[in-house]
Structure 1
Amino acid sequence: MNRIILPLVFLISAFSWSQDIVINELDADSPSTDTAEFVELKSMTPNFSTDGYILVFFNGSDSGGDSSYMVIDLDGYSTDNNGLLLIGSGGVSPFPQVLIAENVIQNGADAVGLYLASVDDFPEGTLATQTNLIDALVYDTNDADDVGLLALLGETNQYNDNGTNANPKSIQRFVDGMGVESFSTVTPTPRRENDCSGIPINPVAISVMETQYDEGATFEITFTAESNVTSDLNFTISLDNYGFNSSDFTGNLNLTIPNGSNSTTTTISLVDDAADEGDEVIQIHFLDLVEPIVPSNNYVEVRVVDNDFTMAPWGTPIQPTTTFVQSTQPTGYYDSLDGLAGNALRQALQDIIADPTTVRAQTYADVIDILKEADQNPENSNQVWLLYTEEGRPKLDLQTSSNNSGKWNREHTFPRSRGGFFDIEEDEIADGIDVFWTTKADSLRHGNSDAHALRAADASENSSRGNQHYGQYVGPTGTLGSFRGDVARSVLYMEIRYNGLQVVNGFPNTTGQLGDLVTLLDWHRNDPPDDFEMNRNNVVYNWQKNRNPFIDQPLLVEYIWGTNIGDIWMQSLSTIDNEQLEISIYPNPTTGRIYFSGINNTAKVEIFSVEGKLLKQYQSVDNYIDLDLASGLYMLNLINNNQSVIRKIIIE
């Protein structure tokens, strides 16, 4: 089989217009981040309706099996004055008539087929076929020919898109003066005739100085045409997007580029109201451009930062509190555990948190909404708190494309690849709290979307962690380690919740196992639950109807994995710290001196590093101690009247 390498041209046929519409151009790899990939169709006549047509994309890899992975319904669209229909992502200029997500057209060896058929005819994984096929293009990006895919689609040539970031290329169809059709790989020409003929278009671009403004700010939007207009160009724009509407700004949306000019500007003033609406996103988009005037870009986003965010009364994990949030567990939730030990205790605990009559599983898409609530930054209701990097990030910065810089996403504390979790097509639908699956202890697949073990995390750091075991991965350099107890309790929960999972010593390679147990037990002991973690336990319980027992009853960890294995569990043992030892420790953060109130007689105080190393001991403490330690996070264990309380202490 032959592949095109610039500047070679391959002749295909001498009956190029036997079809009403054909595939005219394809760019599956521009640039390497795939933010400007597109397919262009061309009809024999202009303004041709594509009702009844679909585009089907086939995966020629070994895993893809020459089968469909995406279908685009072309109902409701038509080609333009030049007979062109551009289907692409938002990074393509001029802006596509049919918008698709970034990075969804695979690079090859693959194919795209134009069919006169229904999307229902091509469920995902349908083998490539010539039935109802109008046109097809088999292509690659410096890959070997896929002989099987060529045969299935009745094609004889596979075409190579060998562009680079500096020199992008697309596969383009040409017809010479004799009507002979050929394909060549040259510089992309989206929504323009490949041979530079046709009616010239004049794209208009939207630009702003910044992509983020505070409520109350004023900014300009500039509109610039590629060429000077030959008569006054009047057009209308909109800024509306979900909750952002005309009540949130003032400014002129009916604009004119004067004859002989190529630009105009409007000034937008953002209303500073008192409502806590959360951060919002403006979408600047054209409403009524008419060919040959077309959008160069569109739906340009500008963030409006709401200054009316709320703050929770409890602290972040790096400034923890433990007195504001109470468990919302139902009365008697853990009563069935009393008097049990060993495997009987384990089983009884699983019976509670995996009870198929009450526990629910949500979709993986629902988890985004759960995390926006469960991991909300206590200091700013418009942000999530990021697990490993210990910082707030706007909820709007959720990763939705291949670009992960400055974004957050969903981190599996028990990695999917180690747990054997997977998702299904229905997991892509966020259908809300009242739509759920029944789940049980053997429903291991549901571990993929169990919010007790999913956290908001910096997308780049999530990638850096990968599927490393804890102990191999200890978090970013320079952080306080405030996440360590949280992740320990989340993965220990997973062992009890799902059959087939186990937390073990070391760094195993067996699916279903995660390490390192010794490390995680240390993390649990030295980073006890705080208000932030209890609040997220309450939020997740509201969705899933089960709780993480090691947040509600942290001493249970010792009875299952730690120093009390084999001992009989009684709930009263777990309530001593919170209900009987009423001691105040302040100030926190401190510059060095810590005061105590509520001590009976004298107490013993131990100071540990976040890694669990004992740093200082005070054998007879009355009212205060002086800590001669460097700035950072420490664990304070106070023992009084045979009872103890553990607190995080920050030294400034």
Structure 2
Amino acid sequence: MKQILLCIALLVFSWQSVAQIVINELDCDTPGIDDKEFVELKSDTPNMALDGYVVVFFNGSTSGANSSYFTIDLDGYSTDINGLLLIGSETVTPFPQLLISANVIQNGADAVAIYQANDFDFPEGTVATITNLVDVLIYDTSDSDDVDMIDIFNDDPRFVDIQQINEGSGNNTNSIQRNNDGSYTSTTPTPRALNDGSGVVFNPLEISVAQTQFNEGDSFDITFTTQENVTSDFDFGFTLDNEGFDASDFTGNTMLTISNGTNSISTTITLINDTDDEGDEEPVIKFLALESPIIPFNNFVKLRVIDDDFTVANFGAPNDPTFGLVASTQPSDYYDSLDGLSDTDLRQALQDIIANPAIVRAQTYNDCIDILKEADQNPENSNQVWLVYLEEGRAKLDFQTTSNNVGTWNREHTFPRSRAGYYSIEEDEIADGIDVFWETKADSLRHGNSDAHALRAVDGPENSSRGNQFYGEYNGPVGTLGSFKGDVARGVFYLAVRYNGLEIVDGFPDGMVGQFGDLATLLDWHRNDPPDDFEMNRNNIIYNWQFNRNPFIDQPDLIEYIWGNMVGETWSQPLSVNEVEVNLVKIYPNPSNGRINFKLNVDRVNVELYDVDGRFLESHTVLNNSSINLDFSSGIYIMKITSNGITQVRKIIIE
């Protein structure tokens, strides 16, 4: 009997020796965009080092199958003087000691657990376990009990009576808090404070600025305010450093003192207006070490400094196009293997070039953010990307990183993922640069997900509005010029040749994965919006990353031989730029009020005008240094210029 009691005592002692840290508070669901979620841990002793512990979140949904979706390694972290460690995003106040991304903690029915383990012991999809378990909380937001999850943790004698705790219904203002007796209560959140109100009461210090966007040369004030007056002079410092922005970019005092009996101090920062094209920058206001009882109320406050030294390209944006200024960087023999071929042989030979597994590279989906910042750079402002449907620039820094897409840009799949059947994998979340890549081939359909030739920078809400509609169903925002139409059509045609399993068909084949329509619409868009300098520059940049090109930008007539009015005809590569005088004419101004001037390299040209839908409008014979007057309404028109058997197409804009 004594031996049995001794064993029980040793077992209880071992549980207590392991259970030095528990889940003290969890807020899994917050109002609005749900970005203020947090989990708080509590140790039995203050300032406890947490090396050797991990926090693991488990998904209790049917698809989640009680498996891990997020793991936090606690190595290098310690609890504070109250024994607390607050884990949350930059939007949580007071500011967490350990930062995670916003909106990562799922609502439930789910579980969060502490283990004595390493983060690599819980790769994504690891089924919940009691091995090395220290503490666990199963929770929900007015969901049914996850009986399977409860049963898993019930196998540990310490949690044989475990219950699933309800935080409240969706968008609630509660958190789940551990009571001193080990039970739980759902009530008003108390991050970085003991749930019973005891312990050291901190005095949070808040950063505030009147605005967050400035121009180089501007001055602005930063104010720091504690919730309570300080009881002695309090000295502290902060920095604005972030990536390329540092102390050389501003002047102002960054070491401050809040005087005894007061609670606020301000400092004036003046941004230096240099002549360097550094791009827009984002200084971040960050506290240096603060001494207890002062803690950050907020921190990492991001500002925006607009650089007025941006670069303007020597070619136009899609809504103000230029032609012939950007030369193709294709190798001289890149398309030679196509000569003399037709129909399916021509298509196969083209695929052999652009899907050659010995040459072509596939990048990650996150690499494509960097690719698009370069390939879709606004020709009028190098600090912006050009938005494909809205036809305007947006700051490169405004890439969407949260669930809120308003005012942001993201990546548009011209051939939607749900239509094509490609998808992301975990490695796609890594941006590992131009020199790290996957081998890829024609059957590597998944790589279509991150093929930059068919991705475009797009306004976040407009991407949502387009959804997975076919082109022809979706025609762009009302009031825009439609300058994107030929560009996106050539992106879709490229994909249909690059990857096996994709095809362009007539009509709108809803529900048929791998098929995209409407062929007639895409042909019209291609014919009436020919490749311009913006598109050629884009092709050159993507070629530098992927080692393949969109052939329908280099050789637009190829589309006619595969899908259009030349199917079955034998392809012969056009003469190169060096073999024929292609600059027939210079037209200006463009845009214009209707009067178009001509400077010719030949005696005369024939000019035909069409609207963007391909309808013929009128024709003219034009001599050098002459002009024509077009009585057209505002919009984009197509000018077909012909002389001595050579034809060129120009896109003109009437304001």
TM-score normalised per structure 1: 0.94
1:557 maps to which of 556, 559, 566: 559
Residue in structure 1 matched with residue 610 of structure 2 by the alignment:
608
Counterparts of 2:339 and 2:493 in 1: how far apart (Å)?
20
Change (3 A) 1:486 1:181: same
Residue in structure 1 matched with residue 573 of structure 2 by the alignment:
571
**SS of residue matched to 2:397:** helix
Q: Is the 8 A contact 2:142 2:169 kept in 1?
A: no
Shift of 1:403: 1.4
Residue in structure 1 matched with residue 524 of structure 2 by the alignment:
522
Change (3 A) 1:578 1:420: farther
| 1:277-316 equivalence runs, <5 A | 277-316=278-317
Shift of 1:576: 11
Counterparts of 1:601 and 1:381 in 2: how far apart (Å)?
39
Shift of 1:274: 1.2
Q: Is the 8 A contact 2:610 2:618 kept in 1?
A: no
| 1:509-548 equivalence runs, <5 A | 509-548=511-550
Shift of 1:184: 1.2
**SS of residue matched to 1:533:** helix
Counterparts of 2:105 and 2:528 in 1: how far apart (Å)?
48
1:158 maps to which of 141, 159, 164: 164
Counterparts of 1:629 and 1:223 in 2: how far apart (Å)?
59
Greater CA deviation, 602-611 or 229-238? 602-611
Residue in structure 2 matched with residue 12 of structure 1 by the alignment:
none
Shift of 1:31: 2.3
Residue in structure 1 matched with residue 425 of structure 2 by the alignment:
424
Counterparts of 1:79 and 1:613 in 2: how far apart (Å)?
72
Shift of 1:573: 6.7
Counterparts of 1:74 and 1:341 in 2: how far apart (Å)?
62
Counterparts of 1:159 and 1:208 in 2: how far apart (Å)?
40
Matched residues, percent identical? 63
Counterparts of 1:638 and 1:576 in 2: how far apart (Å)?
20
**SS of residue matched to 2:131:** coil
- Per-residue CA deviations over 1:623-645 (Å, capped at 9, x if unaligned) read 33211111222212233344322
Counterparts of 1:163 and 1:202 in 2: how far apart (Å)?
32
- Is residue 634 of structure 2 the alignment partner of residue 631 of structure 1? yes
**SS of residue matched to 1:571:** coil
Shift of 1:613: 3.2
- Is residue 647 of structure 2 the alignment partner of residue 650 of structure 1? no
Residue in structure 1 matched with residue 178 of structure 2 by the alignment:
173
Q: Is the 8 A contact 2:384 2:394 kept in 1?
A: yes
Residue in structure 2 matched with residue 268 of structure 1 by the alignment:
269
Counterparts of 2:605 and 2:463 in 1: how far apart (Å)?
42
**SS of residue matched to 1:472:** coil
Counterparts of 1:273 and 1:453 in 2: how far apart (Å)?
38
Q: Is the 8 A contact 1:61 1:109 kept in 2?
A: yes
Residue in structure 1 matched with residue 412 of structure 2 by the alignment:
411
Shift of 1:580: 4.1
Shift of 1:599: 7.6
**SS of residue matched to 1:572:** coil
| 1:59-138 equivalence runs, <5 A | 59-138=59-138
Shift of 1:16: 9.3
How many residues end up aligned between the 2 structures? 632
State the one-letter code of the partner of 1:560.
Answer: I
State the one-letter code of the partner of 1:40.
Answer: E
**SS of residue matched to 1:524:** helix
Shift of 1:597: 3.2
Counterparts of 1:587 and 1:127 in 2: how far apart (Å)?
66
Residue in structure 2 matched with residue 208 of structure 1 by the alignment:
209
**SS of residue matched to 1:494:** helix
Q: Is the 8 A contact 1:276 1:306 kept in 2?
A: yes
Residue in structure 1 matched with residue 495 of structure 2 by the alignment:
494
Counterparts of 2:272 and 2:341 in 1: how far apart (Å)?
61
Q: CA RMSD in A?
A: 1.8
Residue in structure 2 matched with residue 45 of structure 1 by the alignment:
45
- Per-residue CA deviations over 1:593-628 (Å, capped at 9, x if unaligned) read 1223328666543322223333x2125444332111
State the one-letter code of the partner of 1:174.
Answer: N
Q: Is the 8 A contact 1:40 1:190 kept in 2?
A: yes
Residue in structure 2 matched with residue 319 of structure 1 by the alignment:
320
Shift of 1:193: 1.4
Q: Which runs of 5+ in 2 are unaligned?
A: 1-14
| 1:439-450 equivalence runs, <5 A | 439-450=440-451
Shift of 1:38: 0.1
- Per-residue CA deviations over 1:178-232 (Å, capped at 9, x if unaligned) read xx32211111111111122221111001011111111111111000101111111
Change (3 A) 1:82 1:347: same
**SS of residue matched to 2:383:** strand
State the one-letter code of the partner of 1:157.
Answer: Q
Change (3 A) 1:452 1:513: same
Shift of 1:519: 0.6
State the one-letter code of the partner of 1:405.
Answer: V
**SS of residue matched to 2:104:** coil
**SS of residue matched to 2:463:** helix
**SS of residue matched to 1:376:** coil
Shift of 1:133: 0.8
Counterparts of 1:559 and 1:576 in 2: how far apart (Å)?
24
Residue in structure 1 matched with residue 7 of structure 2 by the alignment:
none
State the one-letter code of the partner of 2:566.
Answer: N
Counterparts of 1:573 and 1:507 in 2: how far apart (Å)?
37
Change (3 A) 1:431 1:233: same
Counterparts of 2:170 and 2:210 in 1: how far apart (Å)?
29
Counterparts of 2:240 and 2:518 in 1: how far apart (Å)?
51
Q: Is the 8 A contact 1:212 1:304 kept in 2?
A: yes
Shift of 1:334: 0.4
- Is residue 56 of structure 2 the alignment partner of residue 56 of structure 1? yes
Counterparts of 2:443 and 2:503 in 1: how far apart (Å)?
14
State the one-letter code of the partner of 1:293.
Answer: I
Counterparts of 1:71 and 1:577 in 2: how far apart (Å)?
62
Change (3 A) 1:164 1:69: closer
Q: Is the 8 A contact 1:577 1:644 kept in 2?
A: no
Residue in structure 2 matched with residue 368 of structure 1 by the alignment:
369
Residue in structure 2 matched with residue 4 of structure 1 by the alignment:
none
Shift of 1:19: 1.9
Change (3 A) 1:619 1:267: closer
Shift of 1:579: 3.6
Change (3 A) 1:542 1:600: closer
Residue in structure 2 matched with residue 6 of structure 1 by the alignment:
none
Counterparts of 1:576 and 1:119 in 2: how far apart (Å)?
60
Greater CA deviation, 521-530 or 139-148? 139-148
Residue in structure 2 matched with residue 330 of structure 1 by the alignment:
331
- Is residue 231 of structure 2 the alignment partner of residue 230 of structure 1? yes
State the one-letter code of the partner of 2:557.
Answer: L
Counterparts of 1:215 and 1:492 in 2: how far apart (Å)?
44
State the one-letter code of the partner of 2:615.
Answer: K
Counterparts of 1:258 and 1:106 in 2: how far apart (Å)?
43
- Per-residue CA deviations over 1:109-148 (Å, capped at 9, x if unaligned) read 1110111111111111000011111111111112211111
Counterparts of 2:288 and 2:339 in 1: how far apart (Å)?
66
State the one-letter code of the partner of 2:229.
Answer: N
